[in-house]
């Protein structure tokens, strides 16, 4: 019997085990910075699966290890989820974790506790098969991704000193192999006007009017941003606009504008900031005096009590299809499923912004579930996807 066939048999054998494990995670609400209880469940599942070592790092990531070889492979999935939004939009209890009609139902089933559940099963499969390759196989249940994608891997690489040779992100790919996505950054523009009594606005300088001129030009900037044949076009949009004044009977003397900037290939932090600065100058405002552009910073306290942060610049990344990490994924897919995989990209951002964007670690994406369900009501993941994903992660460990 081939390795691939044996792995598929074991993945099928653990079909219900994987689905129930996912359901147990879903039952535990786990928004960013509130992952403590669900991580305790992940630890329990990894230990039950027979991992050689399971521990929680200072930020709260669970790191499970099998083997102690020279080549290091990590399967990453974030355990934090977004909230449920309007409960009336859900046809079922988002935290029930029910397995029904071939699906696991609930918040986090696609984005993306399903990847963690499948990776834990992959670890169980490797242990049962007596995995003896010269490989260290990590499963990382990471935290705070929804609040700041990539922060968890900044901590793992820089503080834990774990830098794998290869990574698979289990973000949803509909069981396709993904090799990149656009980057992003959060830019703030602070406008400074001069207040005066609202009965005589000509005496002051209204920051709202200043910002409004820039806002119209930002809309035009979006239309002319760079395009990449694989990743698509860069975008920019205004996601927040706040004004301030001494009173409602006064001219506004301040405005803060928040930009969501998505970066395609070839766009950088420096180029994106310069574009916004040129827009400000084009409407006659003085940089540094009337308007200031800043790349924003993230810093929050993890459930462990650790305060940690990073600049809100998340680089674009893509891996060439010919690279070993992609081809190992293609080989694994073909051996398991007897067909060619679809190779594509995510529309949204993932922990890949640090894994490859900053640290240049070769990586691919392969995850259960369809990304259109991410952050949506009535989120659900096919059990069949869980089976195939757990088989893929195990087979990849043999092929890499």
> Where in the sequence numbering do the catalytic residues fall?
80, 145
Tell me the C-alpha distance between 339 and 390, whole Å: 17
CA angle 139, 142, 113 (to 5 degrees): 80
Give the single-character DSSP code of 171. Answer: S
One DSSP character per residue, 7-66 reads: HHHHHHHTHHHHHHHHHHHHTS--BTT--HHHHHHHHHHHHHHT-SEEEE-TTS-EEEEE
What six digits make up the tokens of 113? 């506790």
Element at 239 (helix H, strand E): strand 235-244
Tell me the C-alpha distance between 374 and 379, whole Å: 7
Tell me the C-alpha distance between 344 and 329, whole Å: 13
How far, CA to CA in Å, does 178 sit from each of 156, 255, 329? 23, 40, 10
Which residue, 150, 173, 120, is CA-closest to 329?
173
Chain centroid to Cα 58, Å, comes to: 20
Please check whether residue 231 is in contact with residue 264, taking contact to mean a CB–CB distance below 8 angstroms. yes
Burial 336-349 (b: 16+ CB within 10 A, else e): bbeeebebbbbeeb
What six digits make up the tokens of 351? 């922990």
Write the CB contacts of 243 (distance below 8 Å, at least 6 apart in sequence).
207, 208, 211, 252, 254, 255
Q: Is the dihedral of CA 110, 113, 117, 118 positive or negative?
A: positive
What six digits make up the tokens of 389? 């994903």
Angle, helix 3-13 to helix 324-337, in steps of 10 degrees = 70
């Amino acid at each position: 019997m081939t390795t691939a066939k044996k792995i598929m048999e074991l993945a099928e054998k653990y079909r219900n085990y994987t689905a129930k494990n996912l359901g147990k995670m879903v039952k535990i609400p786990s928004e960013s910075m509130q992952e403590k209880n669900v991580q305790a469940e992940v630890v329990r599942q990894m230990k039950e699966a027979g991992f050689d070592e399971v521990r929680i790092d200072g930020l709260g990531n669970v790191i499970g290890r099998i083997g102690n070889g020279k080549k290091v492979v990590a399967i990453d999935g974030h355990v934090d989820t977004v909230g449920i939004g309007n409960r009336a939009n859900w046809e079922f209890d988002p935290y029930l974790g029910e397995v029904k009609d071939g699906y696991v139902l609930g918040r986090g089933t696609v984005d993306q506790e399903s990847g963690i559940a499948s990776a834990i099963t992959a670890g169980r499969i490797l242990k049962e098969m007596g995995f003896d390759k010269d490989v260290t196989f990590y499963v990382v249940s990471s935290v705070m991704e929804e609040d700041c994608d990539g922060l968890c891997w900044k901590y793992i690489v820089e503080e834990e000193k774990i830098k794998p040779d290869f990574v698979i992100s289990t973000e949803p790919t509909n069981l396709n192999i993904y090799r990149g996505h656009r980057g992003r950054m959060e830019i703030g523009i602070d406008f400074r006007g001069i207040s005066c009594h609202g009965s005589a606005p000509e005496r002051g300088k209204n920051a709202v009017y200043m910002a409004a001129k820039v806002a119209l030009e930002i809309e035009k900037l979006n239309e002319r941003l760079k395009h990449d044949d694989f990743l698509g076009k860069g975008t920019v949009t205004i996601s927040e606009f706040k004004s301030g004044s001494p009173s409602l009977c006064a001219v506004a003397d301040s405005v803060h504008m928040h930009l969501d900037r998505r970066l395609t290939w070839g766009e950088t932090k420096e180029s994106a900031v310069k574009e916004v600065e040129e827009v400000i100058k084009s409407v006659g405002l003085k940089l540094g005096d009337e308007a200031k552009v800043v790349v924003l910073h993230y810093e929050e306290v993890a459930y462990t009590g650790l305060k940690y942060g990073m600049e809100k610049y998340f680089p674009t990344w893509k891996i060439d299809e010919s690279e070993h990490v992609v081809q190992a994924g293609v080989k694994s897919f073909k051996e398991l499923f007897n067909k060619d995989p679809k190779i594509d990209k995510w529309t949204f951002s993932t922990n890949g912004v640090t894994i490859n964007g900053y640290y240049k670690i070769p990586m691919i994406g392969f995850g259960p579930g369809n990304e259109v369900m991410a952050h949506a009501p009535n989120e659900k993941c096919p059990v069949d996807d869980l089976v195939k994903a757990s088989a893929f992660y195990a087979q990849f460990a043999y092929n890499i």
